[in-house]
Structure 1
């Protein structure tokens, strides 16, 4: 597999996997990369405090196979964000992104995430400091609005204020965030999607790179959005049904990989991580969706989840079992095919 090593060299369109807490770990990202060499991968959001005052190596380490990869930062102190951006560049990240979209109470209390949409001047100051500190691209992921600030004009003002720093790439989650009364999960589902606001933003600011995020689950939906914007960010569907990433290879004329070949490539990585001391369940939880919607998928999930797989041999047996289930289904369909 040929891996694209730099985001600026990645062929259009920009297709990415959203940053997702507890999900887009380095183990998932290695797995996701096996499906598609061009999709842009994001880390989980990492706060500046965790990097500066915590275990920077644990938060910043990634596998070289993950390129192109973006570090998403959470924070609102310009100097801290600049420091962490420089660390990201030195560590080898291809891009750094500022989170202005997370709606959780915990991050709001630390002035991180969607609450920053109410302070476009502060976000602009943060982005200016980050851009001054690094040569790699600096981007912003934000909502279309928050609470009572939910008009298109208010979002446009936010984008225009930040764009004055020279930042030209905005990833827009096409829902407002209701910071009082809704959980993060509800904020991903309850506020209605307003894709037309993101399309309008691209029309009004054609010089900017505008990417859309929110509720996108299929290749066909991705193709439809790309008629209006420059890029598409896929969220939870890329985790629950990772083979979607292979289907998105359509944009680069990539052949569809075989799921079992992907597992053959994944097994040495799993063995290496286990040898390093990582619990097997920490890794296998990321591969449960590999056979989504195929015969044997439920038994595959059951075999690997909840600590059921205790050794690499258990994983190998699960692979053999789903191969057998798929073969039985294929044999049945052939036997019962309607004769001409």
Structure 2
């Protein structure tokens, strides 16, 4: 005779065990689980430390809190489940208020688990991206930028932020991590553009991404790091295109890689390039491989070949690698 199997009623379990049980059900059966279908249980799960401490669900829990629960509940929840210092969140209830508070944001960017959850929450990232204080804290924190890099939601929000130019674009660490992430690489191993430029794996991926190269090309300092690295230049050269033909021209965004030896410079009669700052520097002494870009590390917006049909310009097309 089989022994009877004892099945404990859920209401007899200890409070700490309940969320773990609900979490297991949700991870097994998703939205078909009773955990999700019973909105009372779902709310309790989202408010629990079990959900907050699980990397597979904590972003969903945060999103649920931010979108369906009261501001007061959200603030208390963040304080409870992430262990954020009470003083940091005192008087703060909404995500927008938290994002605008330097002390609170300082605590958030230093909390890897919370930053990961925020980076995967559209509601939270909208608040972050619209706050000057939050964007400044995020851009100057390596762990925070790694969390941003891992999440498409976060990358999109940061790039659309009105504070992108102020805090991301000219920040060497931030732009390096964003560019590497946009090239579908893990950004944690890179702390600046010099490291990206010196790494063949990173540069091969970055050179193949119009989005990543577009971010780098918009920063003269970042282009200078590429120009100084043979590894970076070789990665661009591997994807070179050729402008040839007498008086052939092209407009767009290009990195000039090599100019044929007899390509005569003259802005009114022969060949020249217009750079992003509007200048048209004499290339006569910088025709060799990489020489022109290393002398003038900016992208070109226009190129004109000279009148001889055998002359050419090798270039990297930023918008279409």
Name the TM-score, length of structure 1 as normaliser.
0.30
Which structure's relative contact order is higher, taking Cα pairs within 8 Å and 6+ residues apart?
A: 1
Name the TM-score, length of structure 2 as normaliser.
0.31
More helix by share: 2
More strand by share: 1
